[in-house]
Amino acid sequence: MSTEVMLNEFKEISQHPYRVLSQYKQEGKKVIGVLPYYAPVELVVAAGMVPMGIWGSNSKTISMAKEYCATFYCTIAQLALEMLLDGTLDQLDGIITPTICDTLRPMSQNIRVAMSEKLPCIFLAHPQNRKPSFGLQFTMDQYNHVKAELEKISGSAITDEALREAIKVMNRNRAARREFVKLAGEHPETISAVTRSAVLRAAWFMEPVAYAQKLEALNAQLSALPVQPWKGRKVVTSGIICDNPKLLQIFDDNKIAIAADDVAHESRAIRVDAAETGDPMMALAQQFADQDYDVLLYDEHSNQNRRADYVVDLVKKSGAQGLVLFMQQFCDPEEMEYPYLKKALDDAGIPHIKLGIDQQMRDFGQASTAIQAFADVL
Amino acid sequence: MAKEVSPGVKALRKVVEDVYADARKAHAEGKLVGWSSSKFPCELAEAFDLNVMYPENQAAGIAANRDGEIMCKAAEDLGFDNDICGYARISLAYAAGKRASRKFDPETLEFIIDPSTGKPLKDENGNVVIDPETGKPKKDPKTMQPYTVLDDIYEIEALPETTEKEIAYKNFRREAIKPYRQMRMPQPDFVLCCNNICNCMTKWYENIARMRNIPLIMIDIPYNNTVDVHDTNVAYGRAQFDAAIHQLEQITGKKFDEKKFEHACENANRTAKAWLRVCDYLQYKPAPYSGFDLFNHMADVVTARGKVEAAEAFELLEQDLAEAVKNGTSTTPFPEKFRVMFEGIPCWPKLPNLFKPLKANGVNVTAVVYAPAFGFVYNNMDEMARAYYKAPNSVCIEQGVDWREGICRDNKVDGVLVHYNRSCKPWSGYMAEMQRRFTKDLGVPCAGFDGDQADPRNFNEAQYMTRVQGLVEAMEANMANKEAEGK
């Protein structure tokens, strides 16, 4: 299969998650919606069900969700609720609602209330003190709750063996994504910003094994390509999500390649694997404990600026000339960490721009001007 | 004539003054001063005799002193988005060294008065004196204030002090910082964070720790989806208490004093119980005071609930209230026609504006959610861990509704006024559903308005007036219907 054909397949899936969901249902599979962030999809896989990431929508308009939300909530969460209310996600068999930010806390309640007669909602509260033994224990307690709820939906018990297998599947899936991110940074002439996003976005909709296989095949072809000199610029992207093709087209139009990312929807979600041996539930808890450098997570070395230093290091190692921060509107965790990110970038002499975005954006004129101007200074 | 203040209220005011004064003294003596989130288990710090300040209480005070905007803007200039909680912005600006100060002439070292400030001058008969030149009321010079400007304590400290003139200037600039207690709070040597009210708290305190390069003690209380707090949550909370004690031992170089801890717990329980009994006086019809008074007393329950003085002051207030009920008096300065629950944190910079249409329509606030929010009552460390899970924004919707409907019933409210607080996403995030439940379960009308706990730019007075009017009309209609049914 040619690279182009494979890329088109990823694009198709990325653009039409509803079709993918319908396909799984036709095949008799059960599908569990997974809201951001850090839900243990391994448990869904181990239960023989399909995890489907829900990160809002670039084409829907907030309407019914207004019955639950004031305007000052992130559009990702509001549009997730919108799709639950308007029937887009009616085929789901359950949904996992993590609560690690201040919007997701009350949203977990709104979703549970709104879906009370429609869909089982599986609540998940991660700990912030996640590294000490009591934090690991609490993560396991929470994951055991998720496991029990998933078992009710699937109708069968999740064995340790199945969970260990699922961990292997997800490790493989994450490894393929990490490899792709690296290859995409090396081959911007083949992988445009729009395409890169489509491939990574498809990961949230496809069955993990099938996705890993397909991506490994693509990666094999990309690694066989000779590295060509890139005439444009390279940047690192940062933020919660930047999967709008129209926005990313501006990068491609200005020959700005994405060398690496610090994006929750992309690399932040795949940095850490779980151990494939030992107690699998502990392996998942340890995996969450090992997540770091994230605006959403408590840093026990908070008097240092570790997260920003990590991002600066990422820029340097990736060979990027600057950083583009996609500031999701109303995302206070990102906003809270911006001053210290800016400081570290400035200290390191790395230029950056902060682009305010949300998923209701339809006009990218202003963003286009800002990105063009930024490309000129790189 | 100044409003008469009851002994209980006086005592409560003194308790808070003392907490701030003690911290200033400790700081001056080189002792450690910590900053703590309002619902961090204060009992732990009390066991180490630590002086602790409360940035939320401070931010509310700064906002009520009309310096919320200048401090919020200072934080925005540091890069913090104006979407971030107003308390957090004020606190982060303060931690960075920013202060609201009084403008002065650097040559003469005299304050420069803002002509727009001040109250009208009155003659001996109490009549406003008109300026014959302008035809407008004259200002009382004693009430006029200098312009407010932003200053920075670290900039001040870096100033040279070799010549007499330099020394005089530096000292004057230090003293020009506004003299109210919240603007003179000592900088922190350590921070105590408990995120039971919001996750914003986590990053807020991390930022402070980074700015000042100081230790942070983190007690993480995950959000709850059930009314009952699960044993696994209690175990997680309890283990963190032990870890926090260990960290405090390292910071202070002292051993944990169990006796002092038990004593602090006794005080905290006694304060919480007295607080709840004071809150219950709003059940009387008419109420002997207004819920707005309760907002003022929150400062005590936040800053001093582990101190015996706070418990005693609330008990004194209780006696005052018993007396008021017996005499049929109230501190509410108007006859009570309607009783409402005020949902959310008040808009501190706009308290008079909030109060105005309520007073005009005889609406007394007889229920506020803070009543149950600070009623931490427990008998042992496990129960204490369980209690700290029950903060306003850490509980599920059923618990939140149950608390509110409980006080609405007990305190006999006719309606609910809901503050959609731009600063507080976790609080405002399920209010729409709660409003529907209040109306369905209690048959009372609800009205929502947009505001902010600290940033005056987010309050729209015209909208507020309209919403209050709408609520009053709905309550009137409800009452008329009830009367008609009764006949």
Structure tokens at B320: 């005052």
Provide the CATH number for the domain around residue A83: 3.40.50.11890
For testing contact with chain A, the best of B430, B436, B460 (most A CBs within 10 A) = B430
pLDDT per residue as tens digits for the range A222-241: 999 998 999 999 999 999 99
Q: In this structure, what are the phi and psi dihedrals at residue B416, rounded to the nearest 5 degrees?
A: -130, 130
On whether both A154 and A230 belong to a single domain, the answer is no
Q: What is the mean pLDDT of the segment spanning B76-105?
A: 98
- Those residues with Cβ within 8 angstroms of residue A180's Cβ, 6 or more apart along the chain or in another chain: A199, A200, A215, A218, A219, A222
Chain B residue numbers touching A108 (CB-CB < 8 A) = 223, 225
What pLDDT shows up at residue A37?
Answer: 97
**B127-158 burial string, b = 16+ CB within 10 Å, else e?**
eeeeeeeeeebbbeeeeeebebeebebeebee
Structure tokens at B149: 């400007």
Residue A197 lies in a domain: no
Q: What ipTM was reported for this prediction?
A: 0.96
Chain A residue numbers touching B203 (CB-CB < 8 A) = 295, 332-333, 336-337
What pLDDT shows up at residue B49?
Answer: 95
Structure tokens at B441: 């379960």
Q: Which one is predicted more confidently, B483 or A51? A: A51
Distance from CA of B219 to the nearest CA of A (A): 8
Q: Is B253 left (phi over 0), alpha (psi -120 to 50) or beta?
A: left
How confident is residue B486, by pLDDT bands cut at 50, 70 and 90? confident
Longest Cα separation, chain B? 85
Please give the CATH architecture assigned to the domain spanning B7-99+182-255: 3-Layer(aba) Sandwich (3.40)
Domain boundaries, chain B: 7-99+182-255, 283-486
On whether both A145 and A237 belong to a single domain, the answer is no
For testing contact with chain B, the best of A64, A303, A334 (most B CBs within 10 A) = A303
Chain A residue numbers touching B243 (CB-CB < 8 A) = 129, 132, 134
Strand partners, A50: A31
Residue A94 lies in a domain: yes
Q: In this structure, how many other beta carbons lie within 10 angstroms of the beta carbon of residue B335?
A: 9
- Those residues with Cβ within 8 angstroms of residue B440's Cβ, 6 or more apart along the chain or in another chain: none
The CA distance from A96 to A45, in Å, is 13
The CA distance from B299 to B346, in Å, is 13
Tell me which residue in A132, A330, A340 faces B210 most closely, judged by beta carbons. A340
For testing contact with chain A, the best of B203, B427, B431, B463 (most A CBs within 10 A) = B203
| CB–CB contact A126 B214 (8 Å) | no
Tell me which residue in A102, A132, A339 faces B199 most closely, judged by beta carbons. A102
How confident is residue B1, by pLDDT bands cut at 50, 70 and 90? very low
The 3-state secondary structure of chain A reads CCHHHHHHHHHHHHHCHHHHHHHHHHCCCCEEEECCCCCCHHHHHHCCCEEEECCCCCCCCCCHHHHCCCCCCCHHHHHHHHHHHCCCCCCCCEEEEECCCCCHHHHHHHHHHHCCCCCCEEEECCCCCCCCHHHHHHHHHHHHHHHHHHHHHHCCCCCHHHHHHHHHHHHHHHHHHHHHHHHHHHCCCCCCHHHHHHHHHHCCCCCHHHHHHHHHHHHHHHHHCCCCCCCCEEEEEEECCCCCHHHHHHHHHCCEEEEEEEECCCHHHCCCCCCCCCCHHHHHHHHHHCCCCCCCCCCCCCCCCHHHHHHHHHHHHHCCCEEEEEEECCCHHHHHHHHHHHHHHHHCCCCEEEEEECCCCCCCHHHHHHHHHHHHHC
Give the H or E element holding residue B172. helix B164-176
Q: What does pLDDT average to over chain B?
A: 95
Distance from CA of A108 to the nearest CA of B (A): 8
Chain A residue numbers touching B233 (CB-CB < 8 A) = 138
pLDDT over 50 at A349, yes or no = yes
| CB–CB contact A72 B429 (8 Å) | no
For testing contact with chain A, the best of B198, B207, B210, B427 (most A CBs within 10 A) = B210
| CB–CB contact A125 B225 (8 Å) | yes
| CB–CB contact B202 A70 (8 Å) | no
Share of chain B above pLDDT 70, in %: 99
In chain B, whose CA is at the least distance from the CA of A304? B210
On whether both A242 and A151 belong to a single domain, the answer is no
Q: Tell me: domain B283-486, CATH 1.20.1250.20, correct?
A: no
What pLDDT shows up at residue B197?
Answer: 92
Q: What is the mean pLDDT of the segment spanning A94-122?
A: 97
Chain A residue numbers touching B87 (CB-CB < 8 A) = none
Q: What is the mean pLDDT of the segment spanning B208-218?
A: 98
| CB–CB contact A108 B213 (8 Å) | no
A64, exposed or middle or buried, with CB in 10 Å at 0-12, 13-18, 19+? middle
Structure tokens at B351: 């308290």
| CB–CB contact B432 A67 (8 Å) | yes
Confirm if B257 and B298 have CB atoms less than 8 A apart. Answer: no
How confident is residue B3, by pLDDT bands cut at 50, 70 and 90? low
Q: Of the residues A111, A127, A161, which one is the last residue of a structural domain?
A: A161
Structure tokens at B179: 């003299």
Residue A71 lies in a domain: yes
Q: What is the mean pLDDT of the segment spanning A303-328?
A: 97
| CB–CB contact B85 A99 (8 Å) | no
Domain count, chain A: 2
Residue type for A115, please?
M
On whether both A36 and A111 belong to a single domain, the answer is yes
What pLDDT shows up at residue B392?
Answer: 87
pLDDT over 50 at A28, yes or no = yes
Q: What is the mean pLDDT of the segment spanning B200-211?
A: 98
On whether both A368 and A265 belong to a single domain, the answer is yes
Q: Of the residues A161, A185, A215, which one is the last residue of a structural domain?
A: A161
pLDDT per residue as tens digits for the range B331-390: 898 999 999 999 999 999 999 999 999 999 999 999 998 777 777 889 898 999 999 999
How confident is residue B2, by pLDDT bands cut at 50, 70 and 90? very low
Confirm if A273 and A311 have CB atoms less than 8 A apart. Answer: no
pLDDT per residue as tens digits for the range B231-271: 999 999 999 999 999 999 999 999 999 999 999 999 999 99
Q: What does pLDDT average to over chain A?
A: 97
pLDDT over 80 at B396, yes or no = yes
Q: One fold for both B7-99+182-255 and B283-486? A: yes
Chain A residue numbers touching B227 (CB-CB < 8 A) = none
Confirm if B310 and B269 have CB atoms less than 8 A apart. Answer: no
Residue A317 lies in a domain: yes
The CA distance from A58 to A243, in Å, is 8
On whether both A53 and A134 belong to a single domain, the answer is yes
Domain, as residue range, for A350: 226-377
Residue A196 lies in a domain: no
On whether both A372 and A232 belong to a single domain, the answer is yes
In chain B, whose CA is at the least distance from the CA of A111? B430
Chain B residue numbers touching A342 (CB-CB < 8 A) = 79
| CB–CB contact A302 B216 (8 Å) | yes
| CB–CB contact B83 A329 (8 Å) | yes
What pLDDT shows up at residue A355?
Answer: 97
For testing contact with chain A, the best of B40, B81, B422 (most A CBs within 10 A) = B81
On whether both A146 and A231 belong to a single domain, the answer is no
